[in-house]
Amino acid sequence: MTFRRRWDINTRTQMISLGPALLLTLLLISFFTFVRLQDLRQELNHTGQLIANQLAPATEYGVISGNNDVLESLLKATLATPNVRFLEVQDSANRILVYVEQPSETHTRSHQVEVFQAPVRLQRIALNTDFFQGSKVANTAPPEDYLGRVIVGLSNDAFSQRQQEILFKAGILALFALLFTFLVARRLAGSLSQPIRDIGHAVKAIQEGDYKTPLPIVDDTELGALSQHINNLAHGLEQASREQHQAMAQLIKTREEAEKANNAKSDFLAMMSHELRTPMNGVLGMLQLLETTDMTEEQVEYAALASESTEHLLKVINDILDFSRIERSELELEHIPFNLADLISSCAQSFSHGAAQRGLDLALTIPEDMRALQVQGDPTRIRQILVNLVGNALKFTEHGRVSIEPKWQSLDHELLWFTCTVRDSGIGISAESLELMFDAFQQADSSISRRYGGTGLGLPIARTLAERMGGTLRAQSEEGVGSVFTLEIPLALYKQSLPERLPRALSGDGHGEGRNVLLVEDNPVNQTVIETMLRSLGFTVSVANDGAQAVRSAESLIFEAILMDCRLPIIDGYEATRQIRQLPGCADLPIIALTANALQGDREACLSAGMNDYLAKPFKRTDLQQILQRWVQ
């Protein structure tokens, strides 16, 4: 089977042509040879029997008279007949009367003898003497008398010789027939295989990209039509390849332009993030510092409104940056352990004061079995989703209550299904507008944007984050009754106990007196804000305006921590951190990035440069206090 599979089309065509022809030739020649030999055998038998039948009447007289000389002369005369081996005459008692045979030298050449015999009978002749009478006389023949028999031995030499001649002629005929069939099959196979071979070479050339080699058209049969079609195909493929190369060149050019535009967009976002967050940090910081001073009630109200507007603007900036990350598929999720109940409680706690001021009831019901539940996931993004849902519920609820209902269900020993439902008794959403709420920059109607504000990015970002975590965000609402938003995500169980982060008991009034920190910041407003925050926390602050000055200060002075901006003149914050790490005694010095960069990869770039932590501007005084408590010993 393996050998047959390796036959080419030429060999297969010859085998297909020769096989039936050879079989038919062999069958026909065998049949006619067999018939001819049968006829020859019958002829031999007829000849031998004819000699015996003719010789029997001639020996009647000799047998009756007992004249053996007459019989012998008769037999010798008959012995001259070709192929007669011996002759014998026997009487009625089977006694041999006369026996003659060919000479012994002839006998040695004879291998087989066919024996024929005929009886010798007494012949009687009946005579009718009445030739003139019309009456018929009954012709009754007396029984013949058996006198003996004649035996003729006929040699097979002639039959064997004729048989060999017939077989030889049949073999020659079969050989010529086979040779003729082979020549015809070879020519037929060549006329088929050569065009097919040329077609195969042409197809291989087309496969390798050579469309310019024409395929010769042998005739106007099917193979000629196939060759013409392949030539047409090669011409079409050549034209398509040329058009494809042109399209690919255009696509490459378009892609390069798109990449340039995307890079320009990313650079623009990075620049705008830095340029917006830098003054925002100054505004928010100054407002927080202002709140620590003695003010009248009217001033307190003005400061609170300014802080609220600033935080709203910061939320809009963050939403736009998150939406940009999601569009570029650059949003990455963390996988760190945290306490789920603490996360939900802190989210609700951040809204409790605002809800109480508006006379709204903010209810949180945490199951007892959830309080000690430790999970792994992205707590920042989960907090972002919950803050968005709770914030929307409070924003669109003018009276009544907002409830937060977290639940969880174990899927296996490593995974759980977390569900958090936020219910409100607010204005509600119509059924036809409900799904539009999850489209970017969409709200139920334009009056909502005018009345309540917002960009329409919160819910789309929240749903995208939930889906990136492997879960979903569903909504049910009835206009004039309220809405129910349900977050469902899988979380991995964390079997180990989390280290309890307790605030460090700093000296003085719970602040950081006696601890020297280095602030590296080139913006004068931010220098003033952050330095004032640090001094209000009890730290002694040294200020560096660029990265080179920061390296010199770290080399000559001892600091508990360094707060490093990333975009600095002379030497940027990344290179300054690398150089500081090489100084003696600074390998374990806490370096915290304070940067307005908030795009994808900024945190990773800070950590890879050797910084310990990352705090994005603008930040609150409490955020700064928490991160210093984490790293300052």
In the sheet with 113-122, reading across from the earlier edge strand, the strands are: 96-101, 84-91, 145-155, 113-122
Q: What share of the chain is helix, strand, coil (3-state, %, to 5)?
A: 55, 15, 30
- CATH code (residue 279): 1.10.287.130
Would 270 be classed as within a structural domain? yes
Question: Does 488 lie in the same domain as 343?
Answer: yes
| Together in a domain, 344 and 489 | yes
What residues have CB less than 8 Å from 109, skipping those under 6 apart? 157
86 domain residue, yes or no: yes
Residue 185 placed within a domain? no
CATH number (domain holding residue 538): 3.40.50.2300
Largest CA distance in the chain: 187
Q: How far apart are CA 207 and CA 215, in angstroms?
A: 14
Do 227 and 198 form a contact (C-beta atoms < 8 A)?
A: yes
Same domain, residue pair 539 and 613: yes
> 533 with 464, same domain?
no
| Domain boundaries, position 286 | 219-331
From first CA to last CA, the distance across the chain in angstroms is: 82
Are 323 and 388 within one domain? no
Residue 49, domain member (yes or no): yes
Are 327 and 340 part of one and the same domain?
no
Q: Is residue 412 part of a domain?
A: yes
Which pLDDT score, from 0 to 100, does residue 268 have? 73
Question: For residue 400, what pLDDT is reported?
Answer: 86
Question: Quick check: is 548 in a domain?
Answer: yes
3-state DSSP call for residue 276? helix
Residues 296 and 432 in one domain: no
Angle formed at CA 471 by CA 468 and CA 477, multiple of 5 degrees: 115
Do 543 and 626 belong to one domain?
yes
Tokens linked to 359: 């006379």
Per-residue DSSP letters for 547-611?
HHHHHHHHHHS--SEEEE-SS-SSS-HHHHHHHHHTSTT-TT--EEEEES--STTHHHHHHHTT-
Same domain, 471 and 601: no
Question: Whose CA is closest to 61, among 53, 51, 71, 73?
Answer: 71
CATH number for the domain harbouring residue 485? 3.30.565.10
Structural domains counted in the chain? 4
Q: Phi and psi of 55, rounded to 5°?
A: -75, -25
Do 546 and 465 reside in the same domain of the chain? Answer: no
Beta bridge partners of 518: 542, 562
> Residue 538 falls within a domain, yes or no?
yes
* Mean pLDDT, 10 residues at a time, the chain of 633 residues: 58 71 78 80 83 84 82 83 84 85 58 82 63 45 70 78 78 81 77 72 74 69 73 78 87 87 71 69 76 81 77 72 65 82 87 84 88 87 88 86 91 88 86 70 50 64 87 86 90 72 43 79 86 87 91 88 89 91 89 75 81 84 86 78
Q: Tell me, what CATH number does 156's domain have? A: 3.30.450.20
Give CA–CA dist 348/366, Å, rounded: 11
Same domain, 236 and 318: yes
Tokens of 617: 């501007």
Q: Whole-model pTM?
A: 0.48
Q: Are residues 554 and 408 in the same domain?
A: no
Alpha helices, DSSP H only, in 87-135?
104-109
Flag whether 583 is in a domain: yes
Six token digits for residue 40: 């020859």
**CA-to-CA distance for 328 and 314, rounded, in angstroms?**
21
Residue 393 amino acid letter: A
Angle CA 558–620–266, to nearest 5:
95
